[in-house]
Amino acid sequence: MSVGYRWKKLIYGRLKCSIDLCFSASTNKLGICTCIRDEEGCFVLAKSMWFTLLCSIDVGEALGLYHAIKWIHDLRLPNVDSKRVVDYFNRSNDDITEYGIIMDINIYYCSLYLTNSRVGFTRRQANEVVHELTNASTSLLSSRIFDDLPTCINNLIANEMYKHIFLKKSEAPHHHSYGSTKYKKLNK
């Protein structure tokens, strides 16, 4: 895990949906994984799937976003929070390739079903949990929804949450008495 990475806390009640994909040349599969976590970084749900498909990385990322949008909509989650995919999504280019058509469908579905969501880019170091789960997805016999925390990502999530709590405490003001003194004065 990257030294500079830490979980970025979300607004209370929001969920973060991370998407990753992998290409397996040995099995000729595209693996896609979606992992949903709450505002504290706790595991909520994950879904992994794979397809026997040869496509470009851009098309694979667009398909990953497509399947994540569909799954989030099917779950009826109201608050869910690759660089080129994110840029296209947020700037909407006119692209008549396979990639552009899939992205236009993604934009349409988000505007229709997920109006209170946004799409953003997270570097691989900050997306290690979903990346690890994606790598395992091509060895599964079929698509799978994980209601419980998968063992292959248990330690990664625990480490992120530990770092979040540890860094949160270490960033607290060193002079706790100032805050409590001010509070006492307000109550007198």
**Tens place of pLDDT per residue across the chain (188 aa):** 334 445 566 667 777 777 888 887 777 788 888 888 887 777 888 888 888 877 777 777 788 888 887 887 777 765 554 445 556 666 666 766 777 777 777 777 666 765 665 555 555 444 666 667 666 666 666 677 777 777 766 677 667 666 655 555 444 443 333 333 232 333 33
Q: How far apart are CA 133 and CA 152, in angstroms?
A: 7
What is the predicted pLDDT for the residue at 186? 31
- Nearest Cα to 87, choosing from 121, 118, 116? 121
Per residue, what are the HEC states of the chain? CCCCCCCCCCCCCCEEEEEEEEEECCCCEEEEEEEEECCCCCEEEEEEEEECCCCCHHHHHHHHHHHHHHHHHHHCCCCECCHHHHHHHHHCCCCCCHHHHHHHHHHHHHHHHCCCCCCCCCCHHHHHHHHHHHHHHCCCCCCEEECCCCHHHHHHHHHHHHHHHHHHHHCCCCCHHHHHHHHHHHHC
What is the predicted pLDDT for the residue at 176? 33
Distance between alpha carbon 164 and the CA centroid of its chain, in Å?
Answer: 17
What is the predicted pLDDT for the residue at 22? 81
- Nearest Cα to 130, choosing from 188, 43, 69? 43
**What are the boundaries of each domain within the chain?**
16-187
Helix axes 128-137, 151-170, angle to 10 degrees: 180
Q: How far apart are CA 35 and CA 130, in angstroms?
A: 6
What is the predicted pLDDT for the residue at 60? 79
What is the predicted pLDDT for the residue at 61? 79
**What are phi and psi for residue 163, nearest 5 degrees?**
-65, -40
What is the predicted pLDDT for the residue at 119? 59
Which CATH class name applies to 16-187? Answer: alpha beta
